[in-house]
Amino acid sequence: MLIAALSGRALAVSARWAGYAPLVADLFGDADMRDAANRSDVVPRDLASGLEEATLIASLTRLASGRRCEGLVYGSGFEDRPASLARIASLWPVLGNSADVVSRVKDPFLFARLCDELDVLHPPVRPKRPPDPRNWICKRIGGAGGAHVHPASRKCEISARTYFQRKVTGRAISLLFLANGKEALPLGFSAQWSYPTREAPARYGGAVRPSGIPLSLERKLVLDTQRLARRLELRGLNSADFLIDRDRAWIIEINPRPGATLDLFDSRSAPLFALHIDACRGFLPEHSPRWRGAASAATVYATHTIRAMPRLRWPEWCADRQNAGTRVEGGAPICTVRARASSARRARSLAEKRVLAVLSMVEGSEIE
Protein backbone atom coordinates (compact mmCIF):
# COMPACT_ATOMS: atom_id res chain seq x y z
CA MET A 1 0.00 0.00 0.00
CA LEU A 2 1.38 3.40 -1.00
CA ILE A 3 1.25 6.13 1.67
CA ALA A 4 1.78 9.84 1.01
CA ALA A 5 1.76 12.50 3.74
CA LEU A 6 3.79 15.33 5.22
CA SER A 7 4.67 12.80 7.93
CA GLY A 8 3.89 9.17 7.16
CA ARG A 9 4.99 7.42 10.37
CA ALA A 10 1.61 6.99 12.09
CA LEU A 11 -0.02 5.64 8.91
CA ALA A 12 2.95 3.33 8.22
CA VAL A 13 2.80 1.80 11.71
CA SER A 14 -0.97 1.33 11.49
CA ALA A 15 -0.67 -0.19 8.01
CA ARG A 16 1.94 -2.64 9.28
CA TRP A 17 -0.38 -3.63 12.15
CA ALA A 18 -3.17 -4.15 9.61
CA GLY A 19 -1.03 -6.59 7.62
CA TYR A 20 0.00 -4.31 4.74
CA ALA A 21 3.48 -3.67 3.36
CA PRO A 22 3.65 0.16 3.51
CA LEU A 23 5.55 2.09 0.82
CA VAL A 24 5.89 5.61 2.23
CA ALA A 25 6.71 8.99 0.67
CA ASP A 26 6.93 11.91 3.10
CA LEU A 27 8.99 15.00 3.93
CA PHE A 28 10.95 13.74 6.92
CA GLY A 29 12.09 10.13 6.50
CA ASP A 30 12.07 9.68 10.27
CA ALA A 31 13.88 6.67 11.70
CA ASP A 32 10.74 5.06 13.12
CA MET A 33 8.84 5.61 9.87
CA ARG A 34 11.62 3.81 7.98
CA ASP A 35 11.46 0.96 10.52
CA ALA A 36 7.72 0.52 9.88
CA ALA A 37 7.86 0.92 6.08
CA ASN A 38 8.86 -1.78 3.63
CA ARG A 39 10.32 0.98 1.49
CA SER A 40 10.35 4.74 1.88
CA ASP A 41 11.40 7.82 -0.03
CA VAL A 42 11.92 11.40 1.16
CA VAL A 43 10.20 14.07 -0.94
CA PRO A 44 12.77 16.89 -1.14
CA ARG A 45 10.71 19.85 0.06
CA ASP A 46 10.14 21.66 3.37
CA LEU A 47 7.18 21.86 5.73
CA ALA A 48 6.26 25.41 4.70
CA SER A 49 5.98 24.62 0.98
CA GLY A 50 4.51 21.14 1.46
CA LEU A 51 4.34 18.24 -0.98
CA GLU A 52 5.26 19.31 -4.52
CA GLU A 53 3.36 17.29 -7.10
CA ALA A 54 6.13 16.33 -9.55
CA THR A 55 8.63 15.24 -6.90
CA LEU A 56 5.94 13.37 -4.95
CA ILE A 57 4.78 11.45 -8.02
CA ALA A 58 8.41 10.63 -8.83
CA SER A 59 8.87 9.26 -5.28
CA LEU A 60 5.68 7.20 -5.45
CA THR A 61 6.65 5.84 -8.87
CA ARG A 62 10.01 4.67 -7.52
CA LEU A 63 8.33 3.02 -4.53
CA ALA A 64 5.69 1.26 -6.65
CA SER A 65 8.10 0.08 -9.35
CA GLY A 66 7.91 -3.71 -9.78
CA ARG A 67 5.28 -4.08 -7.05
CA ARG A 68 1.53 -4.71 -7.12
CA CYS A 69 0.04 -1.93 -5.01
CA GLU A 70 -3.51 -2.16 -3.74
CA GLY A 71 -3.80 1.59 -3.75
CA LEU A 72 -2.69 4.81 -2.04
CA VAL A 73 -3.69 6.22 1.34
CA TYR A 74 -2.90 9.88 1.99
CA GLY A 75 -2.52 11.87 5.19
CA SER A 76 -1.92 15.58 5.76
CA GLY A 77 -0.57 17.70 2.92
CA PHE A 78 -3.35 17.64 0.31
CA GLU A 79 -5.99 19.93 1.84
CA ASP A 80 -4.74 22.88 -0.23
CA ARG A 81 -3.94 20.93 -3.42
CA PRO A 82 -6.89 18.76 -4.50
CA ALA A 83 -5.77 19.07 -8.15
CA SER A 84 -2.58 17.17 -7.26
CA LEU A 85 -4.68 14.53 -5.52
CA ALA A 86 -6.78 14.14 -8.68
CA ARG A 87 -3.68 13.57 -10.82
CA ILE A 88 -2.32 11.03 -8.33
CA ALA A 89 -5.70 9.25 -8.44
CA SER A 90 -5.27 8.86 -12.22
CA LEU A 91 -2.11 6.80 -11.53
CA TRP A 92 -3.11 4.73 -8.45
CA PRO A 93 -6.44 3.91 -6.79
CA VAL A 94 -6.84 6.39 -3.91
CA LEU A 95 -8.39 4.97 -0.73
CA GLY A 96 -9.76 8.07 0.90
CA ASN A 97 -11.84 11.10 -0.01
CA SER A 98 -11.74 12.09 -3.68
CA ALA A 99 -10.24 15.36 -4.86
CA ASP A 100 -13.76 16.76 -5.45
CA VAL A 101 -14.79 15.94 -1.86
CA VAL A 102 -11.60 17.49 -0.42
CA SER A 103 -12.21 20.61 -2.51
CA ARG A 104 -15.77 20.95 -1.20
CA VAL A 105 -14.84 20.28 2.43
CA LYS A 106 -12.00 22.82 2.42
CA ASP A 107 -13.99 25.56 0.67
CA PRO A 108 -14.77 27.72 3.74
CA PHE A 109 -17.71 29.51 2.10
CA LEU A 110 -19.39 26.35 0.79
CA PHE A 111 -18.81 24.70 4.18
CA ALA A 112 -20.32 27.68 6.03
CA ARG A 113 -23.40 27.63 3.76
CA LEU A 114 -23.85 23.92 4.36
CA CYS A 115 -23.60 24.43 8.13
CA ASP A 116 -26.25 27.17 7.94
CA GLU A 117 -28.52 24.90 5.87
CA LEU A 118 -28.18 22.05 8.40
CA ASP A 119 -28.45 24.40 11.42
CA VAL A 120 -24.93 23.55 12.61
CA LEU A 121 -23.31 26.42 14.52
CA HIS A 122 -20.28 27.77 12.61
CA PRO A 123 -18.36 31.08 12.87
CA PRO A 124 -19.15 33.55 10.08
CA VAL A 125 -16.58 33.78 7.25
CA ARG A 126 -15.83 36.40 4.63
CA PRO A 127 -13.37 36.66 1.70
CA LYS A 128 -12.11 40.17 2.51
CA ARG A 129 -10.70 41.79 5.63
CA PRO A 130 -13.59 43.23 7.71
CA PRO A 131 -13.65 47.02 8.20
CA ASP A 132 -13.11 46.43 11.93
CA PRO A 133 -10.73 43.42 12.10
CA ARG A 134 -10.98 43.04 15.86
CA ASN A 135 -12.49 39.68 16.81
CA TRP A 136 -11.65 38.24 13.40
CA ILE A 137 -8.85 35.87 12.39
CA CYS A 138 -7.05 35.45 9.08
CA LYS A 139 -6.68 31.88 7.73
CA ARG A 140 -5.39 30.11 4.64
CA ILE A 141 -7.76 27.88 2.67
CA GLY A 142 -6.55 24.30 3.13
CA GLY A 143 -4.14 25.29 5.89
CA ALA A 144 -3.33 22.70 8.58
CA GLY A 145 -1.60 22.62 11.95
CA GLY A 146 -2.66 26.09 13.12
CA ALA A 147 0.52 27.90 12.00
CA HIS A 148 -1.44 29.67 9.24
CA VAL A 149 -3.94 31.27 11.67
CA HIS A 150 -3.32 34.91 12.68
CA PRO A 151 -5.35 37.77 14.18
CA ALA A 152 -6.94 39.76 11.36
CA SER A 153 -5.75 42.97 13.04
CA ARG A 154 -2.18 41.88 12.30
CA LYS A 155 -0.56 42.51 8.96
CA CYS A 156 -0.89 39.24 7.05
CA GLU A 157 -0.25 38.34 3.44
CA ILE A 158 -3.51 38.49 1.46
CA SER A 159 -4.01 36.18 -1.51
CA ALA A 160 -6.73 34.23 -3.29
CA ARG A 161 -6.15 31.50 -0.67
CA THR A 162 -6.83 33.82 2.29
CA TYR A 163 -10.13 34.22 4.11
CA PHE A 164 -11.37 35.70 7.37
CA GLN A 165 -13.33 33.98 10.13
CA ARG A 166 -15.08 35.48 13.13
CA LYS A 167 -13.10 34.66 16.26
CA VAL A 168 -14.83 32.41 18.77
CA THR A 169 -13.33 31.16 22.01
CA GLY A 170 -13.56 27.91 23.89
CA ARG A 171 -11.93 24.52 24.39
CA ALA A 172 -10.62 22.89 21.24
CA ILE A 173 -12.26 19.47 20.79
CA SER A 174 -11.86 17.02 17.91
CA LEU A 175 -14.03 14.07 16.90
CA LEU A 176 -12.36 11.22 15.01
CA PHE A 177 -14.88 9.33 12.88
CA LEU A 178 -15.26 6.78 10.10
CA ALA A 179 -17.51 7.35 7.08
CA ASN A 180 -18.55 5.23 4.12
CA GLY A 181 -20.05 7.91 1.84
CA LYS A 182 -23.48 7.70 3.51
CA GLU A 183 -23.11 7.03 7.24
CA ALA A 184 -20.57 8.06 9.86
CA LEU A 185 -19.45 6.18 12.98
CA PRO A 186 -17.85 8.17 15.84
CA LEU A 187 -14.60 6.70 17.14
CA GLY A 188 -13.70 9.11 19.93
CA PHE A 189 -13.32 12.68 21.15
CA SER A 190 -10.04 14.34 22.12
CA ALA A 191 -9.14 17.73 23.58
CA GLN A 192 -6.40 19.74 21.90
CA TRP A 193 -4.09 22.54 22.97
CA SER A 194 -1.70 24.90 21.22
CA TYR A 195 1.99 25.80 21.61
CA PRO A 196 1.72 29.44 20.55
CA THR A 197 4.52 31.63 19.29
CA ARG A 198 4.36 35.28 18.28
CA GLU A 199 4.51 34.28 14.63
CA ALA A 200 2.06 31.36 15.01
CA PRO A 201 -0.34 31.98 17.93
CA ALA A 202 -2.52 28.96 17.03
CA ARG A 203 0.26 26.42 16.37
CA TYR A 204 -0.80 22.86 17.21
CA GLY A 205 0.62 21.58 20.50
CA GLY A 206 -0.95 18.27 21.40
CA ALA A 207 -4.08 16.28 22.13
CA VAL A 208 -5.46 14.04 24.87
CA ARG A 209 -8.32 11.58 25.22
CA PRO A 210 -10.85 11.40 26.74
CA SER A 211 -12.02 14.95 26.08
CA GLY A 212 -13.98 15.40 29.30
CA ILE A 213 -17.04 17.00 27.65
CA PRO A 214 -20.55 15.98 28.80
CA LEU A 215 -22.20 12.99 27.12
CA SER A 216 -25.17 15.14 26.05
CA LEU A 217 -22.84 17.49 24.19
CA GLU A 218 -20.98 14.56 22.64
CA ARG A 219 -24.28 13.25 21.24
CA LYS A 220 -25.11 16.63 19.69
CA LEU A 221 -21.67 16.94 18.06
CA VAL A 222 -21.92 13.40 16.70
CA LEU A 223 -25.32 14.15 15.15
CA ASP A 224 -24.04 17.40 13.59
CA THR A 225 -20.98 15.58 12.21
CA GLN A 226 -23.06 12.71 10.82
CA ARG A 227 -25.33 15.11 8.93
CA LEU A 228 -22.34 16.95 7.45
CA ALA A 229 -20.56 13.71 6.59
CA ARG A 230 -23.64 12.43 4.75
CA ARG A 231 -24.04 15.61 2.68
CA LEU A 232 -20.32 15.81 1.89
CA GLU A 233 -20.16 12.06 1.08
CA LEU A 234 -17.08 11.58 3.25
CA ARG A 235 -15.18 8.28 3.29
CA GLY A 236 -12.58 6.68 5.56
CA LEU A 237 -11.03 8.31 8.61
CA ASN A 238 -11.86 12.00 9.11
CA SER A 239 -11.96 14.42 12.01
CA ALA A 240 -14.20 17.35 12.94
CA ASP A 241 -12.79 20.25 14.98
CA PHE A 242 -14.94 22.22 17.40
CA LEU A 243 -14.59 25.05 19.89
CA ILE A 244 -16.72 24.52 23.01
CA ASP A 245 -17.89 27.21 25.42
CA ARG A 246 -20.11 25.69 28.14
CA ASP A 247 -23.08 24.21 26.25
CA ARG A 248 -22.32 25.96 22.94
CA ALA A 249 -20.16 24.36 20.27
CA TRP A 250 -18.97 25.84 16.98
CA ILE A 251 -17.69 23.53 14.27
CA ILE A 252 -14.51 25.06 12.87
CA GLU A 253 -13.65 22.62 10.09
CA ILE A 254 -13.56 19.01 8.96
CA ASN A 255 -10.22 17.38 8.11
CA PRO A 256 -11.02 14.90 5.30
CA ARG A 257 -8.16 12.46 5.99
CA PRO A 258 -6.44 10.59 8.85
CA GLY A 259 -4.98 13.21 11.17
CA ALA A 260 -2.88 14.09 14.19
CA THR A 261 -4.97 12.12 16.72
CA LEU A 262 -4.21 8.69 15.21
CA ASP A 263 -1.69 8.07 18.02
CA LEU A 264 -4.43 8.44 20.65
CA PHE A 265 -6.80 5.85 19.19
CA ASP A 266 -4.70 3.41 17.17
CA SER A 267 -3.74 -0.01 18.51
CA ARG A 268 -2.15 -3.21 17.30
CA SER A 269 -5.34 -5.15 18.17
CA ALA A 270 -7.66 -2.78 16.23
CA PRO A 271 -5.54 -0.87 13.68
CA LEU A 272 -7.27 2.22 12.36
CA PHE A 273 -5.69 1.67 8.94
CA ALA A 274 -7.81 -1.46 8.43
CA LEU A 275 -10.96 0.42 9.49
CA HIS A 276 -10.06 3.23 7.06
CA ILE A 277 -9.68 0.82 4.13
CA ASP A 278 -12.95 -0.96 4.94
CA ALA A 279 -14.85 2.34 5.27
CA CYS A 280 -13.48 3.60 1.95
CA ARG A 281 -14.87 0.41 0.40
CA GLY A 282 -18.27 1.01 1.99
CA PHE A 283 -18.10 -1.05 5.20
CA LEU A 284 -18.44 0.30 8.73
CA PRO A 285 -18.11 -1.83 11.89
CA GLU A 286 -21.19 -2.19 14.08
CA HIS A 287 -19.35 -0.64 17.03
CA SER A 288 -16.24 1.46 17.44
CA PRO A 289 -13.27 -0.02 19.35
CA ARG A 290 -13.04 0.76 23.07
CA TRP A 291 -9.99 2.22 24.77
CA ARG A 292 -8.96 1.99 28.40
CA GLY A 293 -7.44 4.79 30.43
CA ALA A 294 -6.21 8.03 28.89
CA ALA A 295 -3.67 8.80 26.17
CA SER A 296 -1.91 11.96 25.06
CA ALA A 297 0.50 13.02 22.33
CA ALA A 298 2.37 16.31 21.91
CA THR A 299 4.73 17.81 19.34
CA VAL A 300 8.19 18.94 20.45
CA TYR A 301 9.32 22.03 18.52
CA ALA A 302 12.93 23.24 18.33
CA THR A 303 13.34 26.47 20.29
CA HIS A 304 16.44 27.34 18.26
CA THR A 305 17.99 26.20 15.01
CA ILE A 306 19.91 22.96 15.56
CA ARG A 307 22.72 22.78 13.01
CA ALA A 308 23.10 19.02 13.40
CA MET A 309 20.71 16.87 15.39
CA PRO A 310 22.75 14.94 17.98
CA ARG A 311 22.76 11.16 18.13
CA LEU A 312 20.36 10.48 21.00
CA ARG A 313 19.19 7.43 22.93
CA TRP A 314 15.54 8.10 22.27
CA PRO A 315 13.04 6.97 24.92
CA GLU A 316 10.41 4.51 23.70
CA TRP A 317 7.71 7.16 24.13
CA CYS A 318 9.22 9.30 21.34
CA ALA A 319 8.04 8.99 17.73
CA ASP A 320 8.70 10.92 14.49
CA ARG A 321 12.32 11.21 15.62
CA GLN A 322 14.57 13.56 13.67
CA ASN A 323 17.57 11.74 12.23
CA ALA A 324 21.03 12.34 13.67
CA GLY A 325 22.94 14.95 11.69
CA THR A 326 19.77 16.60 10.34
CA ARG A 327 19.52 20.39 10.47
CA VAL A 328 16.37 21.41 12.35
CA GLU A 329 15.20 25.00 11.93
CA GLY A 330 13.91 26.91 14.94
CA GLY A 331 10.18 26.23 15.30
CA ALA A 332 10.34 22.96 13.31
CA PRO A 333 9.25 19.68 14.94
CA ILE A 334 11.89 17.52 16.66
CA CYS A 335 9.61 14.58 17.50
CA THR A 336 6.27 13.53 18.97
CA VAL A 337 6.01 12.40 22.59
CA ARG A 338 3.29 10.03 23.78
CA ALA A 339 1.93 9.27 27.24
CA ARG A 340 -0.66 7.01 28.85
CA ALA A 341 -2.17 7.40 32.31
CA SER A 342 -5.30 6.75 34.34
CA SER A 343 -6.82 10.18 33.57
CA ALA A 344 -6.67 12.80 30.84
CA ARG A 345 -5.15 15.36 33.22
CA ARG A 346 -2.32 13.00 34.16
CA ALA A 347 -1.72 11.93 30.55
CA ARG A 348 -1.42 15.54 29.37
CA SER A 349 0.82 16.47 32.30
CA LEU A 350 3.11 13.52 31.55
CA ALA A 351 3.27 14.45 27.84
CA GLU A 352 4.19 18.04 28.69
CA LYS A 353 6.96 16.84 31.05
CA ARG A 354 8.27 14.65 28.25
CA VAL A 355 8.33 17.63 25.88
CA LEU A 356 10.64 19.40 28.36
CA ALA A 357 12.73 16.24 28.75
CA VAL A 358 13.36 16.05 24.99
CA LEU A 359 14.29 19.74 24.83
CA SER A 360 16.72 19.14 27.69
CA MET A 361 18.22 16.18 25.77
CA VAL A 362 19.09 18.37 22.78
CA GLU A 363 20.32 21.38 24.77
CA GLY A 364 23.89 20.17 24.54
CA SER A 365 23.80 20.21 20.75
CA GLU A 366 25.29 23.06 18.77
CA ILE A 367 22.68 25.70 18.02
CA GLU A 368 22.59 29.04 16.23
Predicted confidence (pLDDT) per residue in 302-348, tens digit: 999 999 999 999 999 999 999 899 899 998 899 999 999 999 999 99
Average pLDDT rounded to a whole number, residues 173-196: 96
Question: Which of 4-8, 104-108, 156-160, 286-290 is predicted with the least confidence, judged by mean pLDDT?
Answer: 156-160
DSSP 20-66: ---EEEESS--HHHHHH-SEEEE-S--TTT---HHHHHHHHHHHHTT
Q: What are phi and psi of 156, to 5 degrees?
A: -135, 150
State which fold the 103-280 domain adopts. D-amino Acid Aminotransferase; Chain A, domain 1 (3.30.470)
Average pLDDT rounded to a whole number, residues 273-290: 96
Q: Which residue has the higher pLDDT, 211 or 144?
A: 211
310-330 in b/e form (b: 16+ CB < 10 A) is eebeeeebbbbbbeeebebee
Q: Give yes or no for residue 266 having a pLDDT over 90.
A: yes
Work out whether strand 23-26 and strand 39-42 pair parallel, antiparallel, or are unpaired: parallel
User: Measuring CA to CA, which residue among 209, 219, 226, 221 is closest to residue 284?
Assistant: 226
Q: Kindly report the pTM of this predicted structure.
A: 0.92
Average pLDDT rounded to a whole number, residues 193-210: 89
pLDDT bucket at 368, cuts 50 / 70 / 90 = very low
On whether the 2-95 domain is CATH 1.10.287, my answer is no
If one counts every other C-beta atom within 10 angstroms of the C-beta of residue 269, the result is: 6
Q: Give yes or no for residue 229 having a pLDDT over 50.
A: yes
**What are the residue ranges of CATH 3.30.470.20 in the chain?**
103-280
Say how far apart CA 17 and CA 11 lie, in whole Å: 10
Say how far apart CA 31 and CA 321 lie, in whole Å: 6
**What are the residue ranges of CATH 3.40.50 in the chain?**
2-95
pLDDT digits (tens, 9 = 90+) for 346-366: 999 999 999 999 999 987 543
> Could you tell me if 150 and 201 are in contact, meaning their C-beta atoms sit under 8 angstroms apart?
yes
